Amino acid sequence: MDRISNLPDEILCHIGSFLSAKDAAFTKVLSKRWRNLLTIIQALYFHSMSNCGEGFKDFVDGVLALPASSRINKFSILWEYVDIDQYVHINRCLCDVVKRGVLVLALKIREKEGYSLPLEVFTCKTVEKLTLGSGFTIDILPNDASLPALKTLFLDSVRFSEFGGRCAFTALLSASPLLEELVMDNIELRRWKWSCIVSSPTLRRLTIRLDKWLTHDDFIAYCRGLAYDFDSISLDLPGLTYLEYSDYVPKEYLIVNLNSLIEAKLDLCVDEDGVWNERHADDFNPMNLINGIKNVEILDISLETMMMLHVFLEGIPVFEKLSRVSVSPSEFCWSPLARLIKNSPNLKTLIIKGHLHCGLQVNEWVCKCVSEYSFLVSCPLEVVQIANYSGSIRELEQMKHFFGKLSCLKLVRLCAYVSSSNEKRVMEDLLKLRKASSNCKIEVKFIKLESYFNT
C-alpha cells in the first residue's frame, strides 16, 4: 500500500487543492476514495479594495459552473467598494454556495445602500461559522429560518429590523440552537434599538465592541430624547463563560442571567468624556449588571468603568470567586479599586495597566483615597503587576505599602521606563524595601527611555 493512502482526509484534500482540474480528474480514476474527496473545494475567496464588477462577475460564473456534486468548505467575500448593480451577483453566488454545503461563510462588504442578504443564508443546514458585515440591515428572517450547525456568529455594524412584532435579531438567535460564540462589532446604542435582549441557552462567549464613541453633540441629542430610546438591555445567557463588553450604559439592565460567567472585560461609559456624576446615578444604573457578574474569576475593567464604580461605590458586591483583576485605574480616585480588592476575599493577582496613583498635593506621596493602602493588610494577593513604573520617590513610597502589607505576596512584576543610567538605582531601591512576605520575588523589565522615545 502506498504511503499517501494512509493520510487523513484533510491532508489529502489539501494536496488535491494544488492539482490542476485535469490531474484531479485523473486521480479520481485511480482511487474511489480520491473520487469523493476531490469533490470538496477547501476555500474560495474574493477579496478586493476596488470596484471590479466584471472581475467579480467572472468569479461568480466560475463558482456557478462548478459540478453540482462539488462542495465548498470555506467561502469569503471581502469587498470595500461595491456598486448596487453587483448585489444580484453577490446573492446568486451566496445561494449557490449555501446549496453546496458550506461550513464557513464570510461576507463583509461596504455597501452604498439597500443591500439585503438572500433568505437562503438563514436556512443553511451546514454552516458552522458565519461572518456578516458591514453596514447593511437584516430586515426579516424566513419563517423556516434554521441554522442547526451554527456555532460562531460575527456581526460587524449590522442592523436588524422588527417586522410584524418579530425582531430579526431575536429570530436569528432562536434559529441557532448550537450557537456558542457571538461577536458584535460596532453595535452601539444607535443600533440597539432593534432589540435590547440577548438571549441564548447555549452561548458560551459574547463580545460587544464599540468602534467609536459618539461626539458630544450627538450624545447631547440622545440625552434630550431627540433620538434616544436606550432604556434597557437584558442579557439572558445562563451558559455564558466569557464576556467582553464595550458600550454606553443604558438606563437599566432589566434581566441579567450570567451565573456561569468566568471571565469578564468591561469598558462602560455614559458619554464621550467618561464623566460620571450624581446626575448619572439617577439616569443610568449599571449595578444590576455588576451584581450579575459577581461570580467571575477573572475581571478586566477600564478607566471609564472605574470612574463609573466610583459613583456606585456602596453598591459594589462581594466577588467571592474573583482570583485575578486587571484595572486601568482612574487618576483622580482609586477608591473603587480599594473597595474591589476589599470585596474580593480570594484575589490572588492584581494587574495595574498604568501608573501607580500618587497624591494630588506636592508632598502627598500616597493619595488619601486609598487610606495608606490599609485594605491590603488582610488581602491574600500573591502577584502584583504594574505596567508603568519610573522609580520616582512617590512610586517607591507606594511600593513600600505593597511590600510591607501583603503577607502572601510571592511576585512583584514591574515594567520600568527608565534611562540606562538609572536601572541599577531603581533595582536597588526596590530590593531595600521591607517585605511582609519572605517568599516575595521581584521581576523588573527595563524599557530604556531612549528606545521608547525613538519608537
CA distance linking residue 297 with residue 320, whole number of Å: 9
CA distance linking residue 424 with residue 75, whole number of Å: 56
Residue 404: exposure state from Cβ atoms within 10 A (0-12, 13-18, ≥19): middle
31 upstream amide cis, omega within 30 of 0: no
Domain that holds residue 431: 353-454
Tell whether the model's pLDDT for residue 362 goes beyond 70. no
Confidence band for 65, pLDDT divided at 50, 70 and 90? confident
Closest to 102 measured CA to CA, from 69, 134, 135, 126: 126
Total number of residues shown for the chain: 455
- 29-61 pLDDT, tens digit each: 455 555 555 467 788 888 876 777 677 888 888
At 11 the pLDDT is: 61
Which residues are 252's β-sheet partners?
Answer: 232, 285
Looking at residues 243-248, what average pLDDT do you find?
A: 92
Residue 273 maps to a domain: no
Residue 32 maps to a domain: no
- 101-133 pLDDT, tens digit each: 999 999 988 766 778 899 999 999 999 999 998
Residue 414 maps to a domain: yes
DSSP 8-state assignment for residue 91? H
Looking at residues 330-342, what average pLDDT do you find?
A: 83
Looking at residues 321-333, what average pLDDT do you find?
A: 86
Average pLDDT, the chain: 82
Secondary structure in 3-state letters for 118-184: CHHHHHCCCCCEEEEECCCEECCCCCCCCCCCCCEEEEECCEECEECCEEHHHHHHHCCCCCCEEEE
- 260-299 pLDDT, tens digit each: 999 999 998 865 444 445 555 566 788 999 999 999 999 9
Residue 324 maps to a domain: no
Tell whether the model's pLDDT for residue 71 goes beyond 90. no
3-state DSSP assignment of residue 375: helix
Half-sphere CA count of 50, side-chain side, radius 13 A? 3
Tell whether the model's pLDDT for residue 354 goes beyond 50. yes
Residue 443 maps to a domain: yes
Looking at residues 239-253, what average pLDDT do you find?
A: 91
Residue 363 main-chain phi, psi, to 5 deg: -100, 15
Tell whether the model's pLDDT for residue 75 goes beyond 80. yes
Residue 423 maps to a domain: yes
The reported pTM is 0.85
Positive/negative CA dihedral, 84, 89, 92, 93: negative
At 227 the pLDDT is: 42
Least confident of 165-169, 336-340, 415-419: 165-169
Q: Total structural domains in the chain?
A: 1
Residue 12 maps to a domain: no
Half-sphere CA count of 5, side-chain side, radius 13 A? 8
CA distance linking residue 16 with residue 135, whole number of Å: 37
Most confidently predicted of 85-89, 201-205, 281-285: 201-205
At 413 the pLDDT is: 96
Residue 298 maps to a domain: no
